[in-house]
Structure 1
Amino acid sequence: MAQGKAVPVSVSVDPAKTGPVINRDIYGQFAEHLGRGIYEGIWVGENSPIPNTKGYRNDVLEALRKIRVPVIRWPGGCFADEYNWRDGIGPRDKRPVRVNTHWGGVTENNEFGTHEFLDFTELVGAEAYVAGNMGSGSPREMAEWVEYMTSDSQSSLANERRANGREKPWKIKYFGIGNESWGCGGNMRPEYSADLHRRYQTFVKAPRENPVIKVATGANVDDYIFTKVLMERAAHTMDAISLHYYTFTHSWEEKGPATGFNKDGWVSTLKNALRMDELVTKHSAIMDQYDPEKRVGLFVDEWGTWFDQEPGSTPGFLYQQNTLRDAHVAALTLNIFHRHTDRVRMANIAQMINVLQAMILTDKEKMILTPTYHVFDMYVPFQGATPVAARVEAEPFTHGDTTLPRVDVSAARDTSGKLHIALVNLDPDKPARVTTEIAGVKPRAAKGRVLTADRIDAHNTFDKPNTIQPVAFSGRVEGGKLVFDLPAKAVAVVAVD
């Protein structure tokens, strides 16, 4: 596709104006017992012809290590609200078979349980975020699960874990007190959810030397009353509160196709993705009223695109393709989180493999990396970096009745002091000439990678796995400023020398 004339864009970066460090955990992942996310995606079993390590796909392990996955949330999602942890321990051939009532009504053989998940996090090098069952389970059940996983004592539960093959206790950094209590987790009023949180969290007792961060199940999208009530009644009993937001093309009723969309579908989706900033801002303001010291973190532990599942795929498995548009949603959302590091300390994209906005898609022995994966790979330097102020001046991008920023920017210094800049061109047709001035710095060069394609719905397939992938990208120095020729519909990340 021929690109129009480049639109001038001015960017000002001020390294002296910094924000709180970007917590690595905003690059977190989510793996629910849903569709082919766990089975076939992560777990194939030791006897599979697909190359594996103790049952885990080698290609998936390698890909996840490369993007330095910091934390993984499991077992759900709605699946967690009916999950009994005892179903997933002991000999695999003796574990009970249940019906996954939320996702397709298929049978769940519980072959992938507590040991399998926690061993997986260790193989990847990630922290564990375990979601407890507050919807249909009991406080005792939740308490015993935590003891089973974390106790180094000679209690019956700790010894049961040892008998099942794990001598040392695991370190569980995060524990969710329920999931979506406003919906599939119990259809609760916020007042009741706050009371249950206070009750259940009381009995979650990890060892003193290995405490867990307790996460309250928080609001859906713009339910600000839910956040207000939980903070007012239970803030002192939580370390973090969750927020869930999915990006559709139009609405829950009209999610739209994952591929084959037109410019209207591109623009509408990106507009909805940018709403994340409004949601985080308003929920954070409510939290500030009850927690001015900002002790309680805001965990956006479910986010991402949700489109119509692929034609011909199993109903309820939420399998969708992943395009350049998804890559833009990912980059814009991560940039928003970079601007809210005072509150946003974890985020978990939904979901890691074969479900919704996945990093990876698999088909038997085949595996492909999605455009979203490539964005997470390009953004690795921002993990643990210190964000710095960046301002953009440009003519906005307008399509029909919708006006969007033409270019979105995030800048940060990594732990070694090197400055990294992310540039996102939202215009699907026109490139941008981005002139960047860095206060107090005379740059010599800027090099990195850019992700773009000839079509707005470009995606990788099992027959053509490298249709869209990052390529080398650099800027030039003119008059002490960096100049980037940023293609239309592109995401770029550069390091400044």
Structure 2
Amino acid sequence: MKVGRREFLKGSLVLSAAALLAPKTVFSQTAESKIEILINEPVGKINKDLYSHFIEHLGAVVYDGIWVGEKSKIPNYKGIRKDLVDNLKKLNPGVIRYPGGCFADQYDWRDGVGPRDKRPTRVNFWADTRYKTTKAYEDLQDGPQKYETNQFGTDEFVTFCKMVGAEPYLAANLRTRDVRVFMEWLEYCNAPANLTTWSTERAKNGYADPHKVSYWGVGNESWGCGGDFLPEEYAEEFRKYTAWLPTYGVPLKLIGSGPNGGDVNWTRKFFEGLAVKGNRQIQKLYGWALHYYCGSTGEQVANQYTENEWYDLLERSDRMQNLIEDHWQIMGEFDRERRVKLIVDEWGAWHKQDSDVPAGYLYAYAGTLRDALVSGINLDTFQRHADKVAMANPAQLVNTIQSLFHGYEDKFIMTPNYHVFEMYMPHAGATAVRTEFISPRVPFTRLDAQKKEVPASMRGLNGSASINGRTVTLTAVNPDAKNTVETAINIGGAKIASAAARILSSTDIHARNSFDNPNGLVPRNEPVTIGAGGQLVYKFAPASVTRLTLTLA
């Protein structure tokens, strides 16, 4: 019998209210949760660029994480770490953003091209700060993490992108370089060989064919390290930088420097600043970049947290939903045709670095199961809003916050975040469909500004679903650290012929991978039993990310 959506929601809400009053026991099984996958209500195609990445000259992201040098004993392809290339390629990444981040706002791209032995050395400003670091600049060991050698620049970056099958995305410097430098960078990347001075220089450097870079960030965090602009001022800078740009036959996808978290005033005032010159200004925009970090908790150490701090971080990660909806609403007031999409090109948690790497490896840590759930929560959020979000890039790829990889010299591992990206791959290119999750909220306590415990709660089981032919992919995060969630799954009246599960979970909420134990936390596959009439009731493990692959009858 087909269950109507209204009846489904009505019954589920009654069950959810009762569940909030029911006592919990360790690893208890609750039967009140429901999921309805509405396969006839498409949200939009899931852009593979939701599975994009971001790298910056910060700590050991580039030097050691990516670039080891052609003469290194560490296996490499043209100086780029082989293990990184081989494993990232498996994820079929969409776009990689470079060179920052705040580093982009001090960067001159011309420093990073030409013979490497003639490239200048600069102080990397990320090393010259005590922001969340354990040592002062003068105490850090000398090396490329402290003194930028520019051995990895535009050509090496584009080569890296080609190796892993990703599109390059370059962030221009609006704070310390003028429009001409931006236009010359575009010329160097995209002009046909030997057509101009800069394309001739590119060919001389060994790259005769144009790099064909479509994605360009017009500044980065212009509300902060990118110039401390007011939104009206940044709108003027954007108009100036984009007034006329040669394409050299490459379609340009310009991305504006969007808000810091929930700063809706930045979004509104920027779009007002474009609209005063007419709709054609807004039409220049491909995307509007939203940055949001859910931060850390307690002592801000990646693998040290209480159960309440586990929930605290996950609840703050789940705020991405409201941020997307709030900014999207304002954008629509100026962009009636909905041409401009959101680009969430910095997201994730932000902890202090681990002790298994040198101090100069700023914020480098391997992450835990908690960080994996942060990844799952965000990816599901983006997919539920596939009609609004065109690209998303966790910060960052390797050897720092929310990384998929962790390396030091010849040691190299995949973090739990890597496995979440692998699990979610079938969504890319599929059609996101409306999905209703009805599950009890999870209560916890958090500390207020006066360090007093206050009651709080977060959404329970939640996720997203997509359809591709007769295959439905359902991904879900169960943030409950102790309780299995028994859930009835309905697919708009359709019958399920077969199902399979892939799960990332542990009885230890601090589970992680390390150099000594690289497979401490990896996904496992489990069979799924389908009930009579193609019905499915599934038990989602505590503290888990789960993918269910459902084949329709």
TM-score (norm: length of structure 1)? 0.96
In the alignment, does 2:219 pair up with 1:178?
A: yes
Paired residues for 1:71-470 under 5 Å:
71-104=95-128, 106-152=146-192, 154-207=195-248, 209-234=249-274, 235-250=282-297, 256-311=300-355, 313-314=358-359, 317-400=362-445, 401-414=455-468, 416-470=469-523
Amino acid at match of 2:426: P
Q: CA–CA distance in 2 between the matches of 1:492 and 1:279?
A: 25
Give a deviation string over 1:354-397, Cα, whole Å, max 9, x none: 01010000121121111111000000001111011211222222
Distance 1:82 1:473 in 2: 49
State the 1:440 CA deviation: 3.3
Q: Report the structure number with the largest CA radius of gyration.
A: 2
Q: Is the 1:31–1:74 Cα contact (8 Å) retained in structure 2?
A: yes
Q: Which residue of 1 aligns with 2:140?
A: none
Which residue is equivalent to 2:45?
Answer: 21
Return closer, same or farther for 1:468/1:29 CA change in 2, 3 Å cut-off: same
Structure 1 residue 471 corresponds to structure 2 residue 524: yes
- Aligned mate of 2:71, from 44, 47, 55: 47
Amino acid at match of 1:303: W
| SS across alignment from 1:80 | helix
Q: Distance in 1 between matches of 2:222 and 2:438?
A: 42
**Secondary structure class of the residue paired with 1:309:** coil
Q: SS state of the match for residue 477, structure 1?
A: coil
- CA–CA distance in structure 2, aligned partners of residues 274 and 4 of structure 1: 23
Spell out, residue by residue over 1:437-460, the C-alpha distance to the aligned partner (whole angstroms, 9 max, x if none).
111321122113100012111100
Give the partner amino acid of 1:5: S
Distance (Å, rounded) in 1 between the aligned partners of 2:187 and 2:512: 44
Indicate if the aligned counterparts of 1:386 and 1:413 stay in contact, CA closer than 8 A: yes
Whether the aligned pair in 2 keeps the contact of 1:445 and 1:482 (CA below 8 Å) is no
Secondary structure in 2 matching 1:464? coil
* In 2, Cα distance between equivalents of 1:189 and 1:442: 54
Residue 58 of structure 1 is aligned with which of 56, 59, 82?
Answer: 82
Deviation, 1:321, is 3.1
- Whether 1:483 aligns to 2:537 is yes
Aligned mates of 2:261, 2:501 — CA distance in 1:
35
The TM-score with structure 2 as length reference comes to 0.86
Equivalent in the alignment of 1:494: 548
Superposed CA offset, 1:314-344 (max 9, x none) = 2571212300001101101111111112221
Contact 2:364/2:406 (<8 A) preserved: no
Quick one: which amino acid aligns to residue 424 of structure 2?
A: Y
Q: Classify the secondary structure of the residue corresponding to 1:388.
A: strand
| Partners of 1:10 and 1:255 in 2: CA distance | 37
Residue 4 (1) aligns with residue 51 (2): no
* Stretches of structure 2 lacking an aligned partner (at least 5 in a row): 1-24, 129-136, 138-145, 275-281, 446-454
SS in 1 for 2:352: coil
Return the alpha-carbon distance in structure 1 between the equivalents of residues 108 and 366 of structure 2.
Answer: 32
In 1, Cα distance between the equivalents of 2:199 and 2:352? Answer: 44
Which residue identity lines up with residue 431 of structure 1 in the other structure?
A: T
Query: Offset of 1:22 from its aligned partner?
Result: 1.0
By how many angstroms is 1:313 displaced?
4.2
Aligned-residue offset at 1:187? 0.7
4+ residue runs over 6 A deviation: none
In 2, Cα distance between equivalents of 1:417 and 1:443: 10
Structure 1 stretch displaced more, 254-263 or 162-171: 254-263
Matching residue's letter, 1:481: Q
Matched, 1:38 2:62: yes
Q: Write the distance in 2 (CA, Å) between the matches of 1:29 and 1:103.
A: 22
| Matched letter for residue 328 of structure 1 | L
Amino acid of the residue matched to residue 249 of structure 1?
Answer: S
Counterpart residue type for residue 417 of structure 2: T
Query: How many Å apart are 1:203 and its aligned residue?
Result: 4.3
Structure 1 equivalent of residue 5 of structure 2: none
Q: Aligned AA for 2:198?
A: L
Cα contact 1:395–1:406 (8 A) shared by 2: yes
**For the residues of structure 2 that align with 1:54 and 1:396, how far apart are their CA atoms?**
50
State how many pairs are aligned. 491
User: 2:60 touches 2:360 (CA, 8 Å); kept in 1?
Assistant: no
Shift of 1:140: 0.2
Q: Deviations over 1:196-215 (max 9, x none)?
A: 011012243222x3111001
Q: Is the 8 A contact 2:361 2:399 kept in 1?
A: no
Structure 2: distance between partners of 1:474 and 1:172: 44
1:172-196 Cα distance to aligned partner (Å, 9 max, x none): 1200011011111111111111100
The answer on whether the counterparts of 1:438 and 1:481 sit within 8 Å (CA) in structure 2 is: no
Q: CA RMSD in A?
A: 1.5
